Chains A and B, each alone.
Chain A
């Protein structure tokens, strides 16, 4: 599966266009892939951030957070993944529901984009709230602007847009007008915080969960998440779930189980490695 194009969206955030005709033919918003870089690599899940059926390509947006993502982001066009499996997961239902607010935290913009694009094209009124720690980490701003009726941007440090967390404009919008559905995608604490507000205001909320996965096909059960008191397999039952029912505390703990080993692998790898040029930014 060859990489045909690459660009850096932000420091340590890379966009890859990958040749994968079979996957492109089937991809829907909400789908993801599981990739393996080489023969020693682990299998990791990545959202299909966009797809082009005619060109037979899918777009991945990857943030370097550890060894696997560092190695992937250091790849250049012409190089290939050992394996790309997909499309995986249950597609996000695209319907005309009325007004939808999409909230993205950091890299969450990547999975959010195909969903709001489809919802926008399906005739919904779409409001997007895009947040990041600081200005350079805002990604897909223009793409999201193009598929929304209103775009609100917030940064934690105030270097762009509103100063503060996405939850502030979220509450404001929900108190301002009737919203039929909220989609919140980003780090677990951010999704958790959004759901606290929507639960209080009783607004349907969908989140996309990023449990630790192995196969991505329902075979290992490692991606278990608790939703409404029931155990679900994130890779086949999700990754989108009713945010008001998700046990976020459990998900956060499960994401951390391998942190010591992950740090060890990352450090050993960084030793003497250059990585993608965008890291320097």
Chain B
């Protein structure tokens, strides 16, 4: 079961007013109207995703009286690792004072990553490999974004989260999972020259052309907005239906839906399509934007803090995005 969640956002903020000065066709109020975002937090030049994740972990330890020495496994979901090697989770183990008897590894996923992380943690517990797992998520997409790319710079914010998952006798802690993958769309959300392949072919012929705003440089984030939007509309409603069926639930049995907090426009469209009532559909991105794999845990922590999410509630989580990859599950809070 999920025992506790904390999160951390970097100090520096990027407001719509600042962005509107760069993009004359997009006034600040228009950016907010479409994205639902007023400001996003941006990591400092010398601040990495693991720094943010370490701060989130320390908050978790402090806010919930958790001893780092009690952690048996550390998993870090990031697409902004400190190095290609070693694994960032190893550095975090040392930095956080997690015992050397703990396993630690990174996994590379974005918006679907938190659901995958819960799945991995559940598997480690079920397999008898660990009983207390620290799941960290953290990303700094801002470091990949071309400053003039209004379609990505308006959406993404940096951030990190820390979740403690514990073995529990409660049967319904973390329920059944739906996972899905469509690597055919890998090129639709990508930093092309970020790994060994160096330069990847963007799918200009196959699915519509260059980045929605500007040509991405090889080490910058490329997003084919229309393709990602279509992908989301295609996969999320069936994934939601499947995860409900698998867990023996109907829409009415669910107390809250927390989807990957992509942006207001996409979330509203998904909500209408899946006919989720507005009061059961949590959106909280105004001051942080789309924080990739941290968006679901940040939303959960905020929903708990503002009273929306109460003990005993049944919550459906759906993550979707870069990969292309998606995952859904049901948790009891």
Co-assembled chains A and B: no
| A interface residues, Cβ below 8 angstroms from B | none
